[in-house]
Chains A and B, each alone.
Chain A
Amino acid sequence: MSKIISLVCGIIFGIGLTVSQMIDPAKVLGFLNIFGDWDPSLTFVMVGALIISSPFFHLFKNNKKPIFAKSFNYTTNKEINKKLIIGSSLFGVGWGLAGLCPGPAIASLALLNINSAVFVVAMFVGFYLVKLSEPTTQAR
């Protein structure tokens, strides 16, 4: 059953990215262009997602187990360190350069766009390079 949920959640997430137009790098770059012609749409995506997710996280966080898995499995890392800031900054530069983050980049592969594919391949190379450099790190 967890497999079906994974597929369905991917589909809903993908529809969400498309409905909200966040699949379009121009919308994201418009959001980041706060000192120019600003498109605030991304804030509404975040608000919509948080309004739904946040109450459920707090309702279910004391449950012993999820419905189709043996246990909850997510990071409890609370560390605020150089790695967090450096990593998030590098991500911010890449995000600002192309207007793509991992979700929309992968979803836009559906459009059979060679440019999306170039970005996604480079992103996977990046994942792998980090894995090579720190073999013990648990990815989230």
Chain B
Amino acid sequence: MNIVNFTPVPAFLGGILIGLAVVLFFIFNGRLIGISGIASNFLISKKNRFDNFLFIVGLIIGSIFYKSFTSLEINISISNSFFLLSVAGLLVGVGTRIGGGCTSGHGISGMGRFSLRSIIATITFMIVGILTVLVKSLV
């Protein structure tokens, strides 16, 4: 194992902002942030649909804000393969709904409440994610 590209300070500061969003949403609106839940409920449920819509819009505006305030370019390296992206997107959509949460819902909101269910979910998707990357590097 070699440690590369490690950016602890921005990572920690970004994490604090994410935690702050989770806290405000909980204290004011009484809900836990899980992006897969918010996004899928926006699609399939009438309940809180406008709230969920505004949250999703905010999520997109957030990165534009960052770009315009800091005038830093956001560089992302994303796969160009539509096939791989479609398969991955489908698995993420199906998996997060069957498993009841994603990195934010289980990983932050659930683990923050010390939910054993969420801790087990987070360990599971991290181990499987690590194995997937390992297998990809071998084939």
Chain A residues in contact with chain B, CB under 8 A?
A: 1-3, 5-27, 29-30, 32-54, 56-58, 60-61, 65-75, 77-80, 83-103, 105-111, 113, 115-116, 118-131, 137, 139-140
The distance in angstroms between the C-alpha atoms of A131 and B59, with both chains bound, is 24
Q: A33-B137, A47-B12, A122-B90 are in contact. Are A91 and B96 (CB under 8 A)?
A: yes
Q: A18-B74, A21-B10 are in contact. Are A130 and B94 (CB under 8 A)?
A: yes
Write the chain A residue with the least CB distance to B61.
A11
The distance in angstroms between the C-alpha atoms of A69 and B36, with both chains bound, is 21
Residues of B within 8 A of A97 (CB): 84, 87-88, 91, 132, 136
B60 near A130: Cβ-Cβ < 8 Å: no
Main secondary structure of the interface of B (DSSP, over half): helix
Q: A80-B117, A130-B98 are in contact. Are A53 and B88 (CB under 8 A)?
A: no
Main secondary structure of the interface of A (DSSP, over half): helix
A109 near B60: Cβ-Cβ < 8 Å: yes
A103 near B63: Cβ-Cβ < 8 Å: no
Residues of B within 8 A of A113 (CB): 76, 78
B88 near A122: Cβ-Cβ < 8 Å: yes
Write the chain B residue with the least CB distance to A101.
B103
The distance in angstroms between the C-alpha atoms of A25 and B28, with both chains bound, is 31
The distance in angstroms between the C-alpha atoms of A139 and B100, with both chains bound, is 7
Chain B residues in contact with chain A, CB under 8 A?
A: 1-8, 10-37, 39-41, 43-45, 50-52, 54-67, 74-80, 82, 84-109, 111-117, 120-122, 124-134, 136-137
B65 near A128: Cβ-Cβ < 8 Å: no
Write the chain A residue with the least CB distance to B103.
A101
The distance in angstroms between the C-alpha atoms of A49 and B56, with both chains bound, is 19
Could you pull out 12 A-B pairs where Cβ atoms are within 8 angstroms?
A2-B51, A6-B29, A8-B24, A9-B25, A13-B22, A40-B8, A44-B8, A50-B15, A72-B31, A83-B99, A99-B79, A105-B89
The interface centre, meaning the residue of A5, A49, A87 with most chain B CB atoms within 10 A of its CB, is A49
**Option from B4, B65, B93 in Cβ contact (under 8 Å) with A15:** B65
Shortest C-beta distance, A138 to chain B (Å), equals 9
**Option from A24, A39, A116, A140 in Cβ contact (under 8 Å) with B100:** A140
Q: Beyond the given A57-B26, A91-B96, A97-B136, please list 16 additional residue pairs across the A-B interface where CB-CB is below 8 A.
A: A16-B62, A19-B10, A20-B10, A42-B11, A45-B12, A49-B15, A49-B16, A52-B16, A84-B121, A92-B127, A94-B93, A96-B130, A101-B102, A139-B40, A139-B44, A140-B37
